[in-house]
Structure 1
């Protein structure tokens, strides 16, 4: 593994620093925010990572929003000041009494005690909405699926998983769109990583699956970590494999920042993911942990690994300063 050996114990570096690192994942409801930070959760482990949804910080319940004629995407329907104050406490290693929003009923439950862990992931509509929130969040991700992809995912979640009626979900999708553009979409300007998602171009080959095409836009760091090889066995690809995939890389500019843009599509060769995962786990100092949840190695799996590496780079920069 070469020079990676000197970095074994990155997990211990975080623990010894006594710092709390907050990852913010912004995006609309049903956009797949939870999925793309699973790599960080799984590879660091539950002893290091905790998370909560910013839906818990709604200030109005479902009936209250209906009476006001506003959606959950409106800042007036969210208690962003309480969120900020709670994040400040968590960064001081203090416990909070976190509010609870019940999606099944659209009402609030009893607050629960929430204890910080070294890495806290917050997912929701407005983690970067205010200057104060942007200051307290250490690593910012924005998930930005095409409308067709988001519609499919939201219907699956709200109808199949949460039991809502199809007509209600479709009505909500249409009603929320103006507020998404007005209050949520701009947050990607402040994100260090933007995940753009569109339908896969390999649909004819892959059939009905979870495959999507992902463009990963990442701000460049002044001091990146050492090389992270992306190994592809051409002999195997030219042999018996029936894998269909593509990788595209380009530099560029995104809202005034120098960025890299990696577009990933199709079924990624297994050896690529396994080697990356092994190297990242060794860097972290974990002997176990995996991102793989299915037999199909998708662009989402590779994206999870690359986001985990980018998070390590950001934290390494913070710890050195």
Structure 2
């Protein structure tokens, strides 16, 4: 029988920490129960583990007593790290011991999965250096500034690289758990858990959920002014060459500084600002796809659809119909129907 460890952090926790712990325990227990119904032995022994006798959450409202202390847990096969506070800066107190233990267990053959902002703890171990990682879109800027050597992939719902798994934000940790159930158990068990816990299976992206807010805490005043100009004038025709001239910076130097400060090229930033405005229009108005397209500064339908899908993972019409219950589906608004 394999061993799965669900970590119980003692400090730097969030309200979502307990949801991750309980959700992971319940879903893996459900997978074990299903295997037993099929006449097979449970695949995992599932235990919660920490560095203290008990840990309090949600301002003391709830308390969890870890089943084992990591000091007595010499070998495990899978480590599940719950979410932490999004204000994470440096690992503190007991979390340092957890990080050292994670690193040691991985070197001894264990696989490690972080849920949402649990990626802060995983990255602090150094195991994510030069590897892919996903995290809640709202924590991406902080994460990027703390761990510049990690290849952040905020559009991805799940990353899987060399026995290290991460996932995006919020309750999408349930999708990561289903992914792990399918990998360790089988597809049939994952489908059973998907239906039992009513979690959509095979989700690949979190792009549609992201709200773009440009990173402005970088300290480069020229780039900050350029960002503000883009955000105020995105509906007009703006070229990167014009921007660099406006702020008296050479084109190549302007691009370099902009990417370093924001994580985006100037063109990507402009596109994201335009698409974020389009998303809000689709969510809150009854405007057609073409009306919104022109409003945010696009005149080419194909270009608008391609950029919108690249950023959100959905077509403009699909996005509008998904998030605006008053929108009336139309086969011709801004999109060319496919032949059937």
TM-score scaled to structure 1, two decimals? 0.30
Larger RCO, structure (CA 8 Å, separation 6 or more): 1
Greater per-residue helix proportion: 2
Structure possessing the higher radius of gyration over alpha carbons: 2
TM-score scaled to structure 2, two decimals? 0.28
Greater per-residue strand proportion: 1
